[in-house]
Every structure is written in structure tokens, then in C-alpha cells.
Amino acid sequence: MIIKDVRKNKIKTVFIITCCFIFLTLLVYFVSLFLFDSVYIAAAVGLGVAFISAFTSYYNSDKMILSVNKARPATREEFLQLNVSLEALCISAGLPLPKIYVMETPALNAFATGRNPNHAVVCVTTGLLEKLDKYELEGVLAHELSHIKNYDILVSTIAIVMIGFVSIIGDMFTYHMWYGDSSSDNDNKASIILMVIGLVFIILSPIFATLLQLAISRNREYLADANAVEITRNKNGLISALNKLENENTPMQVNSATESLFIINPLKKKKAKDSIWSTHPSTANRIERLQNIQ
């Protein structure tokens, strides 16, 4: 069953990335069409920006995400238990050892990023290391390794960076709308059209980002939980860890664009049940599913 879910997961990943690429291409195309008044130039600019954003996302998204969340390398000398636990779990999961990072915060959380198992990163908070025991930590680390194994990290990190490009273009719309040259009637008409298009995309961009996060996160968290139990052979460790993350967590300062990466939502209050607008499933539902695993 899990193998079938992973296969579906990879198909959805391709679909989501393709939709993101097309959306960004069309956005830049329409902007360029009214700026340059040429279909060919607009198409070239649209495709060029989309390819550049995709290339940047694929090769540098992990560095960007670690930077905005102020993560630093977790050396073996300073974090021996973390390194040893992750090495053992990678052997069990049949994965290469990812880079290991930490965030200096008392909050309990973790995330994985990167483009594939050979270029992956696992990041945990110092609060997580202080408050979880060995088996709870292994449960969280196995969950993040499952995201790597299932290629969740690829779609998540690429989507975050490409959504950032959409936001930048929205800001450019706003700037042109208020400060663009309006010296003639034709320019005024063009400015009005740009204003309308800019407002439409400024409105649609956060909606698109939210829908993308919803498509990425919830089912993938359930699947990663189940895979983590397969790796550790101990569902109680992850169940206990999720309970602590839910009940002992403190507010966490992170970049809002990266919230969907974390094992639990670092920005929002806990909730008793899932919502269609939630980037993460409720912890209660996740624990219930884990308890039903035989």
C-alpha cells in the first residue's frame, strides 16, 4: 500500500511542478506582452524567467531555505547523538547520509529540504534535541528521511522558491502601477490594463500559493509518518514525539513561505481536526493513524 502511495506521490509531484512552471510562465508573459507589445518577446521573457526560476529552485533552494531560517551545520563534535542517530536510520532506510543542520530555538520542530536523496538536508531545532529522548528523536528523524525518500523535498522546495518569484513579480506590478511612465493616452490605457492585470495576479498569487501548499502537505505528512514507522519499527517513539511537539511547543520565528516544510506547523495554533485550508493535518489525527498501524 505504501509503495503505491509513493508512486502516486511522484506523479503528483510532476503535476504540481508543471502547474507552477506554467503559472509563472503565463504571469511573466502577460506582463511582458504589455511592456514590450510583442508576442515573441513576451513569450521569450516568460519562458526565460520560468526556466531561470526552475533552475535556481532546483539547484539552490535548499541553501535559500536554510539561510532564511538561520540554520547552521550540526557538526559531529557538537551534536554527536544527532549525527549517530541519523547515520543509523539512513542505513536502515537505505539512504545516503544527508547534510545535518540545526536552528537555534527552544521550539520543537524539524524539516527536510533538497532536490533528491543525494542532495538532501535534515534540519532540527535545538529545542527538539533538548526535550526529546532517543526514540522520540529517531521517530522525527525517520519522518524527515521519509520525505527525502518519497521525493517530497523536491516539490516543496521548488514550489517555495517559484512562489517567491511570483511574489516578486507582483511587487513589480505594483511599482509599475504607481511609478510607471504615463505620458500619453496610450500609456494611460496601458497603465490601466497593467493595473488590472497586476491586481488580478496579486490577488491570485497568495491563493495559488495556498492551494499549492495544500496539495503538497497533508497527505504527504501521513505517508511520511507511516514510512517512519517502517524505518524505526517503533511507532511509539513518533507518537510520543508528536505529543510533545503539540503540547510543549513554543512560538517559532520562521519565514512564512517555508512553514509547509516543517513536521508540524510552526506558525499556527494547534487544532483538533483537519481543515481544508490547513497545510498540516491535525496532530490528533496523525497520532490516531499511527496507533492503528499493526
Is 0.75 surpassed by the pTM of this model?
yes
> Number of helices (H) and strands (E), helices first, in the chain?
9, 4
Strand partners, 102: 72, 124
> Three-state SS for 107?
coil
The strand ranges marked E within the chain are 71-73, 99-103, 110-116, 119-125
Task: State the DSSP code for 263.
Answer: S
Catalytic residue among 144, 221, 230, 248: 144
Q: Higher confidence at residue 100 or residue 185?
A: 100
Lowest-pLDDT range of 114-118, 191-195, 248-252: 191-195
User: Class assignment of domain 69-153+215-291?
Assistant: alpha beta
The strand ranges marked E within 46-98 are 71-73
Quickly state the pLDDT bin for 185 (edges 50, 70, 90): very low
Lowest-pLDDT range of 128-137, 146-155, 234-243: 146-155
Choose the most confident range, by mean pLDDT, from 4-13, 96-105, 149-158, 244-253: 96-105
For position 154, what pLDDT does the model report? 78
**Does residue 190 carry a pLDDT above 70?**
no
For position 55, what pLDDT does the model report? 79
For position 209, what pLDDT does the model report? 60
Q: What is the mean pLDDT of the chain?
A: 80
**Does residue 66 carry a pLDDT above 50?**
yes
Quickly state the pLDDT bin for 99 (edges 50, 70, 90): very high
Active site residue 144: yes
Is 230 in contact with 111 (CB distance < 8 Å)?
Answer: no
Given the C-alpha cell 514525539, which residue does it identify? 241
Q: Higher confidence at residue 112 or residue 49?
A: 112
Burial class (CB in 10 A: 0-12, 13-18, 19+), 78: exposed
Q: Higher confidence at residue 18 or residue 215?
A: 18
Lowest-pLDDT range of 10-24, 217-231, 240-254: 10-24
What's the rounded Cα separation, in Å, for the pair 63 and 119? 11
Percent of the chain with pLDDT over 70: 69
Domain-by-domain residue ranges, the chain? 2-67+159-206, 69-153+215-291
For position 163, what pLDDT does the model report? 67
What average pLDDT score do residues 24-33 get? Answer: 74
**Does residue 184 carry a pLDDT above 50?**
no
Given the C-alpha cell 491586481, which residue does it identify? 199
